[in-house]
Amino acid sequence: MSIETPAGLAVVSTDTGRDSASYVDWAAIFAGIVFASAVSLLFISFGSAIGLNMVGFQAREGAPPILIGIAAASWFLWVQISSFMAGGYLTGRLRRRHFDATEDESDMRDGAHGLVVWAGAMVVGAVLAVGGVGAVANAVGSAASTAAIAASNVAEDAVDPNAYFVDTLFRSAQPVDAAVARDEAGRIFTQAALGNGTVTAEDRAYLASLVAANTGLTPEEAQARADQVIANVEAARQQAIEAARMARNTAIIAAFLLAASSLVSAIGAYWAAQKGGNHRDKNTAFIDVFRRF
């Protein structure tokens, strides 16, 4: 648009509607999100290949699990932070600057664009993760449902909370059928597992009598065998408790690490976007890297 001055000179106005335009450059933000996601996917795939190479699937022993876990966590943290910084830098470099702001305000807007890139990539990653977990959960749920239907008739007595107590009503010194004895012994172990894991002295003696009646062992040998099996069941129970505790602690540590790395990634994206904006304003060119051939 031109304006006539009294001297007859035409002054060209440089106002092209920036006053009404948004300061948010969504095209640059989208480019940063795509770039950050691509960098993350690339290096996670590369790290997965290295990690699988460290695991031994044959008779030879692979790397210790604790070292694999530390290496995987360190690699994931580095990939997450560096990918967000790369996306933030690209967004800051591509953002169209509005020249109605001071340098400090321009730096703030560049950094804000980096934060939006971080937020957008986090949302995209969460959606993909939830989708993958949902697909796995559906597959596992379908398999579990099929197995439950197939085993419902067999397991009906095992899940009866009163089965153990009903068995105690009809215990006798007379020999019982081997199949009945096995079912009864299973219910005794189930009752112990639901409690504190201890088989009572009365149940121990009854188990020994069942073993003696169905195997031909002497009472002393039957009692020793029953005590050994009870000890094995308790050891397996303790291992399951320890595995559950380790899984819980691992999940807690992983959640804290994810939160901390996400916070550091946000700071890195903010700083990298500001650095990209400064290079944009100064026309910084990395000639040795991006030269024309």
Dihedral angle over CA of 79, 83, 252, 127, nearest 10:
-130
Phi then psi for residue 8, to 5 deg, are 85, 10
Give the pLDDT confidence score for residue 53 in this predicted structure: 57
User: Do residues 255 and 73 touch, judged by C-beta distance below 8 A?
Assistant: no
Rounded-to-integer distance, Cα 171 and Cα 166, Å: 9
pLDDT tens digits in sequence order for the chain, 293 residues long? 444 445 544 444 445 555 556 788 999 999 999 999 899 888 888 877 776 555 554 545 555 777 777 877 888 888 889 999 999 999 999 998 887 788 889 899 999 999 999 999 998 888 877 765 455 445 555 554 554 454 444 444 445 666 766 666 556 666 667 777 788 888 888 877 777 778 888 888 888 888 888 887 888 888 888 888 888 888 888 888 888 898 898 888 888 888 888 999 999 999 999 999 999 988 887 766 656 55
Quote the pLDDT of residue 167: 65
199 CB-side CA count, 13 A: 23
Closest CA to 97 of 105, 106, 88: 106
Tell me what pLDDT residue 264 has: 93
pLDDT at position 108 is 93
pLDDT of residue 266: 94
Greatest distance between any 2 Cα atoms in the chain: 126
Q: How far is CA 169 from the centre of its chain?
A: 49
pTM above 0.85, yes or no: no
Which of 267, 271, 201 has the alpha carbon at shortest distance from 230?
A: 201
Q: Which residues pair with 4 in a beta bridge?
A: 10
Map out the domains of the chain as residue ranges: 26-152+262-279, 163-241
Q: What is the pLDDT of residue 154?
A: 40
Who's near 276: CB < 8 A, 6+ residues apart? 88, 89, 90, 91, 92, 93, 94, 95, 110, 114
Q: What share of the chain is helix, strand, coil (3-state, %, to 5)?
A: 75, 0, 25
Structural contact between residues 114 and 274, judged by C-beta atoms closer than 8 angstroms: yes
State both tokens at 31.
Answer: 């480019």
